């Protein structure tokens, strides 16, 4: 059965790799984000890939189309399974990212990674979004960017769990939805403002649940990861990543 728990390795390198080795049997994959990648570079992705779990490279590329395409090609060569681009980069940038992922994967004779469009960061609520985008509704902005991503050929999105139900109503079948802002048992959201429990998010169609602090800050991370996986075991969810 697909384990939807994607553990975020948001720690210094030595601690992140130790955590990954400890919890690998209890999770479905690992997220390598900006802190870890900036500190350690591509080598850390290769070390995490050696644990034989899907790797989600979450660098949120956002630049001119040619630059993003080149970055995506580099990510494909690292054999990552998912990667992120900001959907607000526009349709030309999104198309360039998806085409680069497919072309480079074809050249290497391997499956292309799922390029995920980031809609609205889960740290933003309506008021914060209005400051940066002139749009006072997170829900409207998420749907607008989701439709843009679909039209550009992307096969997945990152979104808050609170947008899952609405997005499943407008996205094509088989579209991969990845949700941060997951807090087991209604735990505190920290800087995440739009959160949900793992079971709730999975039942609404999330394919992957990105979970950081509830695992790595736990007294026993392996036990915490196992408990989260058990919470969602058997809960209907969205499409899974075929490895």
127-147 residue pLDDT tens: 888 887 777 788 888 999 999
- Tokens 């802190």 -> residue: 35
Confidence of residue 10 (pLDDT cuts 50, 70, 90): very high
**Which residues, at least 6 apart from 211, have a Cβ–Cβ distance to it below 8 Å?**
5, 6, 7, 8, 182, 184, 198, 225, 228
Confidence of residue 160 (pLDDT cuts 50, 70, 90): confident
The Cα–Cα gap between 241 and 81 comes to 8
Domains in the chain: boundaries: 5-232
The distance from CA 156 to its chain's CA centroid, rounded to whole angstroms, is 9
User: What's the average model confidence in pLDDT over 200-206?
Assistant: 90
As a whole number of angstroms, the distance between CA 117 and CA 90 comes to 10
Supply the pLDDT for residue 127.
Answer: 87
Q: Tell me, what's the pLDDT at 65?
A: 98
When pLDDT is averaged across residues 171-191 and rounded to a whole number, the result is: 77
Structure confidence at residue 185 (pLDDT): 67
* Superfamily classification of domain 5-232: Aldolase class I (3.20.20.70)
Angle at which helix 91-108 crosses helix 138-151, to 10 degrees, equals: 50
In the predicted structure, residue 235 carries a pLDDT above the cut 60: no
Of 212, 144, 218, 141, nearest in space to 182 by CA: 212
Which has more pLDDT, 118 or 234?
A: 118
What pLDDT shows up at residue 121? 83
Instruction: Please answer whether residues 216 and 19 qualify as being in contact, where contact means their C-beta atoms are separated by less than 8 angstroms.
Output: yes
What pLDDT does 222 receive? 96
Percentage of the residues of the chain whose pLDDT score is greater than 70: 91
Decide if pLDDT at 186 tops 60.
Answer: no
- Could you say which of 31, 49, 60, 193 is catalytic? 60
Clarify whether 193 is annotated catalytic: no
Q: What is the mean pLDDT of residues 168-194?
A: 75
> Pick from 48, 40, 36, 103: which is nearest to 76 by CA?
103
Name the band, by pLDDT with cuts 50, 70 and 90, for residue 234: low
**Average per-residue pLDDT in the chain?**
89
Least confident of 36-40, 96-100, 135-139, 168-172: 135-139
């Amino acid at each position: 059965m697909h384990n939807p728990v994607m553990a975020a390795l948001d720690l210094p390198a030595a601690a992140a790799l130790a955590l990954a080795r400890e919890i690998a049997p209890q999770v479905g994959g690992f997220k390598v984000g900006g802190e870890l990648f900036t500190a350690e570079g591509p080598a850390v992705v290769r070390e995490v890939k050696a644990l034989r779990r899907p790797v989600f490279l979450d660098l949120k590329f956002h630049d001119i189309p040619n630059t993003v395409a080149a970055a995506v090609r580099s990510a494909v060569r690292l054999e990552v399974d998912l990667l992120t681009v900001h959907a607000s980069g526009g349709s030309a940038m999104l198309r360039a990212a998806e085409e680069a992922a497919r072309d480079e994967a074809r050249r290497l004779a391997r499956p292309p990674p799922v390029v995920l469009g980031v809609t609205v960061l889960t740290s933003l609520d309506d008021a914060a979004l209005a400051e940066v985008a002139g749009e006072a509704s997170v829900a409207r902005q998420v749907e607008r960017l989701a439709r843009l991503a679909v039209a550009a050929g992307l096969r997945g999105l990152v979104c808050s769990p609170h947008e899952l139900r609405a997005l499943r109503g407008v996205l094509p079948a088989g579209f991969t939805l990845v949700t941060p802002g997951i807090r087991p048992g209604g735990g505190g959201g920290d800087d995440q403002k739009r959160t949900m429990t793992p079971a709730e998010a999975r039942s609404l169609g999330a394919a992957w649940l990105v979970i950081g602090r509830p695992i790595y800050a736990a007294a026993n991370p392996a036990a915490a990861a196992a408990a989260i996986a058990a919470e969602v075991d058997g809960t209907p969810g969205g499409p899974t990543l075929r490895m």
